[in-house]
Amino acid sequence: KTSIGENCVVGPNTRLTDTLVGNDAVVDETVAINAQVDDFATCGPRAYLRPGTHLMPHAKAGTHVEIKNSTIGEGSKVPHLSYIGDTTMGSGVNIGAGSITCNYDGYHKFKTNIGNNVFVGSDTMMVAPVSIGDGALVGASSCITKDVPADALALERSEQKIVEGYAAQRRHKLEKED
């Protein structure tokens, strides 16, 4: 059964199924199934809250965000273009655009734990099972496969390689083939 609190904004193209929405929440162009959206939380536009999702007070699930079986802590934000599955997230967390939790290995589902006041840079993969400690910083475009201690910087990426003149040589070769 769906319940909507007082002073809420429920935007067009929203479908709420067996979902609890607290007071002063904003749910805009969102599909929510068996989810809980607490007071002052915001969803959408175009958010998908799958069963077991809990947005705590002042949390945000933004544009093109899918969340499944996860708790998003108080004041935490998943603002855009992200998938968060089987995750427990503390308060004051920011998840950068395009970041995901990789929770499924083809056979089993695994959990991701994100502490309080964590910053995750854009386009990051967190491969479960993995934990990120309180206050940690995860650099953009990282693939996190090991636990990150509290207040640590986790950064993973390949070295950028520059091959001078390659693009011009390739164009020249392809133009000759035409």
Q: The domain spanning residue 75 has which CATH number?
A: 2.160.10.10
19: which 2 tokens? 């979902």
CA distance linking residue 176 with residue 178, whole number of Å: 5
pLDDT above 90: residue 145:
yes
Residue 95 CA to residue 84 CA, distance in Å, equals: 10
Task: Point out the catalytic residue in the list 54, 58, 64, 80.
Answer: 80
DSSP state of 66: E
Q: Determine whether 80 is an active site residue.
A: yes
- Return d(Cα 91, Cα 93) in angstroms, integer: 6
Number of domains in the chain: 1
Q: Which helix (H) or strand (E) holds 174?
A: helix 166-177
Instruction: Give the residue numbers spanning the domain of 77.
Output: 3-177
Confidence of residue 88 (pLDDT cuts 50, 70, 90): very high
pLDDT band at 159 (very low <50, low <70, confident <90, very high): confident
Above pLDDT 90, what percent of the chain?
96
pLDDT at 85: 99
